[in-house]
């Protein structure tokens, strides 16, 4: 059951979106979010919807896959929409006690729901098309200038990539410990919530002990391979901006400009 | 011995809170391009000895010289570590990256090697352990023997002069053990690298040039395997078993057959017995 967990799901592929430099994609997401928050009328949202659809078509990610990512968030979307529904001012279309629905309220509710969905889908498109390792790499380079402010960017990126590396190892280990405990009569999926929480304790303690032992051994192994912090490190794989990254950047600037223009329509 | 790669001079070390010292007064020299096996049961100090060789453990008294550099000298730490590479028992806990080739690139990246040279070193190291075809795989999907070979490649990419393997096969199945041992023997044969193999499997020592047996933090026996293994009674007194081949020859001798005790490999042993039967 634990095998199903994937962090920041990644669908390998070889489309132009997959091949873009991770830095470009991160900046694209930033621009996309800004443009999304600039939208305030139907044209603005139509533009962003168009952008998302084009992007997912280029990445060959099926709309169904994209929408399935929204499932856990349905409640938040509906909740936000309902709250906004009652916040409109103007002529009420329907009124009961202090609750009233106005034409503006409906508009707000629809736009808010759309905004959240576009935001989530846009973010998912990034993680769907970029491997966690590339993301870490991209973040490290983008945040590079923060090194001057003594932010340990390389160390943070190293920690993130080690965490990613050990997720499958620790999942495997958890499975093993669970089987061992089950063989001795432990039960993890029956009983009241409090009982289940208690049953987790004999699982977590050995897992923690082993994680600390692993950390200790890994640190020694890293020292043996001459790791001494981020200073003076080089990288085998260099990130290089290509023509497609430039084109993507120009497209984003155009989208941002259109988003601003469409506000005035 | 002229110009040994590693010298230990009267090295002692005790872990905090330990009753007995892990190493007491060990003096050794390890010759360049030699294949040294260090044997001993648990708690004999063999792992501590390994850790002394690249300054993970700095002796409390005595000193360790690597290429003439004292391991206690903090300024020379990186030089010592890039000269003596180390492979550990658990392959999972020494692989850093989520892609095989990225992991192998870790050491040269730390040393600030230019990207194109890193690429060349990584490819060469992976080819030498026969893992080039797996360079884009995720390490957690590999078998134990394959992971351990990746770990060896990770050390090779650093281009050390000596590689120390601390029980590299202890957690592997027989197939994995064979893979790793043949990779280790190839290292010696093709690159003339100094190899120090820490183990408690007798069979793994058969191909070494020199065998050091540790007991209670001291060197109990030291010599070529064909000199050490025939001392069956002494080895047994130290709680060690001899290789199957020596064991067989020893029993045959006790039964009155005139056989030598220094035929260590299965092939040698078989041919010696065959000779006896023919004559």
Residue A83: other Cβ atoms inside 10 A: 13
From B26's Cα to the closest Cα of chain A, the distance in A is 23
Closest approach of chain A CAs to the CA of B56, in angstroms? 7
Its ipTM equals 0.87
Which segments of A144-231 does DSSP mark as H helices, in order? 153-183, 193-224
On whether the CB atoms of residues A125 and A56 are closer than 8 A, the answer is: yes
Among A196-210, B129-143, B153-167, the range scoring the smallest mean pLDDT is A196-210
Q: Give the pLDDT confidence of B104-122 residue by residue, as tens digits.
A: 999 999 999 999 999 999 9
**Is the whole-model pTM more than 0.90?**
no
Quick check: A217 contacting B, CB < 8 Å?
Answer: yes
Can you tell me the distance from the alpha carbon of A176 to that of A152, in angstroms, rounded to the nearest whole number?
Answer: 35
For residue A238, the distance in angstroms to the closest alpha carbon of chain B comes to 7
Give the pLDDT of residue B1: 59
Asked if B115 and A235 come within 8 Å (Cβ–Cβ), the reply is yes
Farthest CA pair distance, chain A: 73
**Angstrom distance (rounded) from CA B125 to CA A123:** 38
Rounded to the nearest integer, the mean pLDDT of chain B is: 89
Strands B162-166 and B84-87: parallel
Alpha-carbon torsion, ordered B63, B69, B73, B78, to 10 deg: -130
Pairing of strands B6-13, B23-30: antiparallel
Walk me through the domains of chain B, giving residue ranges and CATH numbers. 6-237 (3.40.50.300), 243-279 (no CATH)
Average pLDDT value for residue range A194-223: 89
Asked if B64 and B53 touch (Cβ cutoff 8 Å), the reply is: yes
Task: Evaluate whether B222 touches B212 at the Cβ level (below 8 Å).
Answer: yes
Cβ contact (<8 Å) for A228 and B82? no
| A229: chain B residues, CB-CB within 8 Å | none
Shortest distance, CA B179 to any CA of chain A (angstroms) = 21
Distance CA B149, CA B261 (A): 33
Q: Largest Cα–Cα distance of chain B, in whole Å?
A: 65
Per residue, what are the HEC states of B191-251?
HCCEEEEEECCHHHHCCCCEEEEEECCEEEEEECHHHHCCCHHHHHHCCCCCCHHHHHHHH
Smallest Cβ–Cβ distance between B109 and the set A132, A221, A234 belongs to: A234
Give me the pLDDT at residue A3, please: 46
Name the band, by pLDDT with cuts 50, 70 and 90, for residue A7. Answer: very low
pLDDT in tens, B227-270: 888 888 888 888 887 888 888 888 888 888 888 877 778 888 88
Q: What average pLDDT is seen over chain A?
A: 85
Q: Helix, strand, coil proportions of chain A in percent (round to 5)?
A: 70, 5, 25
Which residues of A, range 141-200, sit inside 8 Å of B by Cβ? 161-162, 164-165, 168-169, 172
Which residues from chain A sit within 8 angstroms of residue B109, using beta carbons? 233-236
For residues A1 and A182, give the distance between their C-alpha atoms in angstroms, rounded to a whole number: 14
Would you call A217 and B106 a contact, using CB atoms and an 8 Å cutoff?
Answer: no
Highest mean pLDDT: which range of A152-156, B79-83, B186-190: B79-83
Q: What is the pLDDT of residue B235?
A: 85
- pLDDT value of residue B113: 93
Mean pLDDT of A41-45: 90
Question: Domain segments of chain A: what residues?
Answer: 8-142+239-263, 154-224
Q: Is the pLDDT of residue A5 over 60?
A: no
Residue B225 sits at φ, ψ, to 5 deg, of: -55, -35
The answer, yes or no, to whether residue A30 has pLDDT greater than 60, is yes
Strand order in the sheet with B6-13: B23-30, B6-13, B61-66, B69-70
Higher pLDDT, A200 or A223: A223
Q: Please choose, from the candidates B26, B15, B19, B14, the residue with its C-alpha nearest in 3D space to the C-alpha of residue B62.
A: B26
Q: Which residues of B touch A (CB under 8 A)?
A: 54, 56, 78, 81-82, 85-86, 88, 90, 92-99, 101-102, 105-115, 118-119, 122, 138-140, 154-155, 158
Using pLDDT thresholds of 50, 70 and 90, give the confidence band for residue A31.
very high
Asked if A222 is an interface residue toward chain B (Cβ–Cβ < 8 A), one would say yes
User: Is A14 near chain B, with CB under 8 Å?
Assistant: no
**Which positions ≥6 away from B120 have C-beta within 8 Å?**
none
Mutate to test the interface with A, among B92, B99, B151, B196 (most CBs of A within 10 A): B92
Dihedral sign computed on CA atoms, order B30, B36, B39, B45: positive
**B94 Cβ contact partners less than 8 Å away, ≥ 6 residues apart:** A217, A218, A221, B87, B88, B151, B154
The residues near B145 (Cβ < 8 Å, ≥ 6 apart) are B172, B173, B175, B176, B177, B178, B179, B180
Using CA coordinates, name the residue in chain B closest to A131.
B98
Residue A8: band (very low, low, confident or very high) from pLDDT cuts 50, 70, 90? low
**Minimum Cα–Cα distance from B89: chain A residue:** A217
Cα torsion A186, A190, A194, A200: sign:
positive
For residue A145, what are its two tokens? 């200038």
């Amino acid at each position: 059951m634990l095998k199903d967990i994937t962090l920041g799901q990644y669908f390998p592929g070889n489309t132009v979106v997959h091949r873009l430099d991770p830095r470009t994609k991160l900046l694209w997401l930033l621009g996309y979010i800004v443009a999304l928050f600039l939208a305030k009328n139907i044209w603005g949202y139509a533009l962003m919807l168009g952008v998302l659809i084009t992007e997912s078509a280029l990445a060959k990610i099926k709309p169904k896959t994209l929408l399935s990512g929204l499932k856990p968030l349905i409640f938040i979307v509906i909740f936000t929409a309902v709250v906004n529904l009652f916040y409109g001012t103007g002529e009420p279309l329907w009124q009961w006690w202090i609750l009233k629905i106005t034409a503006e309220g409906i508009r707000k509710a629809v736009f808010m729901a759309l905004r959240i969905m576009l935001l989530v889908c846009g973010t998912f498109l990034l993680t769907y098309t970029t491997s966690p390792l590339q993301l870490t790499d991209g973040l490290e380079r983008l945040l590079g200038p923060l090194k001057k402010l003594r932010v340990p960017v390389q160390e943070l990126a190293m920690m993130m990539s080690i965490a990613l590396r050990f997720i499958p190892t620790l999942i495997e280990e958890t499975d093993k410990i669970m089987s061992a405990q089950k063989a001795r009569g432990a039960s993890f999926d029956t009983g009241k919530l409090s009982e289940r929480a208690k049953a987790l304790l004999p699982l977590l303690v050995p897992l923690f002990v082993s994680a600390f032992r692993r950390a200790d051994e890994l640190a020694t192994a890293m020292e043996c391979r001459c790791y001494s912090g981020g200073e003076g490190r080089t990288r085998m794989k260099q990130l290089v901006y290509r023509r497609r990254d430039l084109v993507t950047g120009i497209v984003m600037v155009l989208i941002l400009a259109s988003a601003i223009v469409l506000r005035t329509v | 011995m002229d110009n040994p790669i590693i010298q230990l001079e009267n090295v002692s070390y005790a872990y905090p809170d330990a009753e007995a010292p892990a190493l007491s007064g060990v003096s050794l020299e390890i010759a360049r391009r030699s294949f040294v096996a260090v044997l001993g049961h648990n708690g004999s100090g063999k792992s501590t000895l390994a850790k002394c060789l690249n300054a993970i453990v700095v002796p409390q008294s005595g000193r360790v010289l690597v290429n003439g550099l004292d391991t206690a000298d903090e300024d020379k730490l990186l030089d010592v570590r890039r000269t003596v590479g180390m492979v550990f028992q658990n392959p999972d806990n020494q692989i850093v990256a989520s892609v095989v080739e990225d992991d192998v690139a870790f050491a040269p990246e730390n040393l600030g090697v230019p990207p194109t040279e890193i690429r060349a070193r990584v490819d060469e190291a992976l080819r030498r352990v026969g893992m080039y075809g797996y360079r884009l795989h995720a390490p957690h999907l590999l078998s134990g023997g394959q992971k351990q070979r990746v770990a060896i490649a990770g050390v090779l990419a650093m281009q050390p002069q000596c590689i120390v393997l601390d029980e590299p096969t202890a957690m592997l199945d027989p197939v994995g053990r064979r893979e790793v041992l043949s990779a280790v023997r190839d290292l010696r044969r093709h690159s003339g690298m100094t190899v120090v193999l820490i183990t408690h499997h007798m069979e793994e020592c058969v191909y070494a040039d020199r065998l050091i047996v540790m007991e209670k933090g001291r060197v109990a026996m030291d010599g070529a395997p064909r000199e050490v293994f025939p001392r069956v009674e002494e080895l047994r007194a130290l709680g060690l078993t001899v290789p199957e081949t020596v064991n067989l020859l020893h029993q045959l001798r006790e039964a009155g057959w005139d056989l030598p005790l220094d035929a260590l490999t299965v092939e040698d042993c078989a041919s010696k017995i065959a000779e006896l039967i023919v004559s």
